[in-house]
Structure 1
């Protein structure tokens, strides 16, 4: 990790009002606005969520509208956008993603934080697969037993957060399922701890999402000394 002394910070860049383009959102489609949002809200952490399907299969899918909410109690949020309307999915219930449906049914899930080395598996897991198929098997991911929930965690990820459902809030016209989960157990690989026994993000090397199907890794971390 690079340490920067405060007086030597590079001068910030500024733009005049005439150097901006205003992006009018009114009248744009939901898809167009989604692409704008995913290009502007970057980078986004990826929650590689494992759930158990109705037939007992281990479903795995990545979601990047994901973040922490509070620490007392420890709550995280994941926004799961439903499938678009189609002949096969005419109503909101039929447009639920498998992950959201499994969470609604079981009330449990695991958020796995994928490292950069798992990017290909994350991309594959995010494709559309039949409900009865296990993305964990397709991607060759290792299932480990969890301690507090019935859903397995992924041994390919350095961080795993076992969660129980707090509530689901339906947001917008889709609607989007905003999942709030309470972290009931957390796991971290031994090798991602630093010399002082604290988690070291430079060792976790988390994968993040950008726009237009692109990803990013942690190129450099730094902190300030005042």
Structure 2
């Protein structure tokens, strides 16, 4: 199957992108409005930009109406600050619920039952129980495309790393973290690791195998086919 991207609308293109680029890291982004309301939302167009200074990138779509800017973007634009919190399995459902398009005057931490922790430099809060959080200041915002998407670059000014995860040689013990990533409209748990080359019998044993579902849904099911899915990254449930 070869698909001409020029013939796709934003919805169709988004469905192919999120299925083709997997797994994606999730930046669970916490911000604070100019009036002091905390916001928390998952962004799965999230990655690293630079080492020195350390910088991360967020790509933020508008709300499901295709026009209104999400609170996350508005707050970053207006305050110049945000934090990203690592999503792990114990918080997967709260992360999913925080993708609901709440009214701007509602605090997502309170709505989904999570506890805030003050950051050291930025005024935006971070998630108290997140094993890793990054305090960021705004470097730039770049509008992209013709559907009101925006790319945000943030400079990391503080790393918050749980003590037991920070090893003696200055690295993070990733094997101890049940990190949750994004597939298309589903999530995946990072619960294995390897370096290459793998033994031939290991490769043969895994050839053609599908992912193992841990949610008791039928194999092949996807939220993309449900009424709750939105090409804005928001959810209704």
If the length of structure 2 is used for normalisation, what is the TM-score? 0.79
CA distance in 2, matches of 1:99, 1:121: 17
Bigger Rg over Cα: 1
RMSD: 1.8
2:152 pairs with 1:152: no
2:139 pairs with 1:166: yes
Once the two structures are superposed, residues 120-164 of structure 1 have per-residue CA deviations (whole angstroms, 9 ceiling, x without a partner) of: 001000011111001101111111111111111111211100000
Identify unmatched segments of 5+ residues in structure 1. 1-20, 90-94
2:41 pairs with 1:61: yes
CA distance in 1, matches of 2:153, 2:57: 5
Secondary structure of 1:222's match?
coil
Moved over 4 A (4+): 194-197
2:191 pairs with 1:191: no
Would the aligned equivalents of 2:41 and 2:99 in 1 still touch at CA under 8 Å? yes
Secondary structure of 2:14's match?
helix
Map 1:1-226 → 2, pairs under 5 A: 21-85=1-65, 89=67, 95-194=68-167, 196=169, 198-211=171-184, 213-224=185-196
CA distance in 1, matches of 2:3, 2:192: 31
Deviation (angstroms), 1:57: 1.6
User: What number of residue pairs does the alignment pair up?
Assistant: 198
Once the two structures are superposed, residues 14-38 of structure 1 have per-residue CA deviations (whole angstroms, 9 ceiling, x without a partner) of: xxxxxxx212222221101100000
Deviation (angstroms), 1:224: 4.0
More strand by share: 1
Match of 2:207 in 1: none
CA distance in 2, matches of 1:196, 1:85: 48
* Larger RCO (alpha carbons 8 Å, 6+ apart): 1
Deviation (angstroms), 1:54: 3.4
Q: Which moved more, 1:21-30 or 1:102-111?
A: 21-30
Q: Which moved more, 1:148-157 or 1:59-68?
A: 148-157
Identify unmatched segments of 5+ residues in structure 2. 198-237
Deviation (angstroms), 1:166: 0.4
Deviation (angstroms), 1:112: 0.7
Would the aligned equivalents of 2:59 and 2:152 in 1 still touch at CA under 8 Å? yes
